A and B are shown apart, each in its own frame.
Chain A
Amino acid sequence: RKEVEQDPGPFNVPEGATVAFNCTYSNSASQSFFWYRQDCRKEPKLLMSVYSSGNEDGRFTAQLNRASQYISLLIRDSKLSDSATYLCVVNGGGYQKVTFGTGTKLQVIP
């Protein structure tokens, strides 16, 4: 099993739709979790940290399920500008234990 797994997509959704991505991780001792957004041929940018209690930032909601070892990202009212690849990142507790997923590609269609 890979340390961090994401469905590569692409997820093609119409504008205004709600879309959710999951990311599973194998290390039950993982300590911190993040979602990054990466536009084509650009650097990843931190979208949000994922807290145990769940957290929301505008149209974006991130949740952590430790029992089932996955994190999720929910995007409501999708915009064309949300089109990007979303990377999940899991920190297993050390500099060398930060693992990036391969990303889920989202395409929002007019």
Chain B
Amino acid sequence: DGGITQSPKYLFRKEGQNVTLSCEQNLNHDAMYWYRQDPGQGLRLIYYSQIVNDFQKGDIAEGYSVSREKKESFPLTVTSAQKNPTAFYLCASSIARGDGYTFGSGTRLTVV
């Protein structure tokens, strides 16, 4: 079945560490996205990518980095520069701009 796989499901990070969240899709979607969800807030866009080897900053890109070397993969690195990284991170994809999104099951990141 086609879908988006995010791993790991839970991730614990020590202060000062960089961590990478994986996102893989087999839907053949061109566009991929990373969102962050905090309690009581709507999803906020971190980065998005329309095609391979191209990505754009979203509303809260500071402290994060991404790559899009393959159509299927869009990993997110949370760097030590991100001061408040504890959140639920969601990867999504869509066929094109304006279409509904398919989300992965998310990664819960906690700073310890």
Q: Which residues of A contact B (CB under 8 A)?
A: 4, 8, 31-32, 34, 41-46, 49, 87, 91, 93-96, 98-103
Contacts and interface: CB of A to CB of B under 8 A. Distances in A.
Contacts, number: 48
Does more than half of chain B's interface fall in helix, strand or loop, or is it mixed?
loop
Given A49-B100, A100-B43, 14 more contacts: A31-B98, A41-B88, A42-B105, A44-B43, A44-B103, A46-B101, A46-B102, A87-B42, A94-B97, A95-B48, A95-B50, A95-B56, A100-B35, A102-B41
Contacts of A44: 43, 90, 101, 103
Given A96-B59, A102-B42, A43 B90 contact: yes
Interface of B: 31, 33, 35, 40-43, 45, 48, 50, 56, 58-59, 88, 90, 97-98, 100-106
